[in-house]
Amino acid sequence: MIHRKTVMILTAVLLAVLGTWAMAADKTIDQTSVLSGRVVAQGLVTPGTVVSEGNILVNVQTIAGPMPTARATSDGVVREVLVKAGDTIHSGDVVARIEPAHK
């Protein structure tokens, strides 16, 4: 009887820990493009970069030259960059994901 109770308690604790971990695992913020164009290497952020709100993440080539198309919307760490130099992107495309800094 005691063994059964211990197993049930350990199972409940394990499920609680896994649930908490799963909820915390996907806390990234999608960063979207505001312009359409061809991504240029100049200013293209890389995964692992620590950014502050407003930092340029991606530039695109325009008639007037390279222009910022995505800026960080929060302080944090870039976890994913979904575009590379030469890619054509459109306004609204997700170009990077940031894990927000814990304050």
pLDDT in tens, 63-102: 889 999 999 999 999 999 999 999 999 999 999 999 998 7
pLDDT at 15: 80
Written as one string, the DSSP assignment of 29-79 is EEEE-SS-EEEESTT---TT-EE-TT-EEEEEEETTEEEEEEE-SSSEEEE
pTM of this structure: 0.73
What is the chain's percent helix, strand, coil content, to nearest 5?
Answer: 25, 40, 40
Residue 74, both tokens: 């929060």
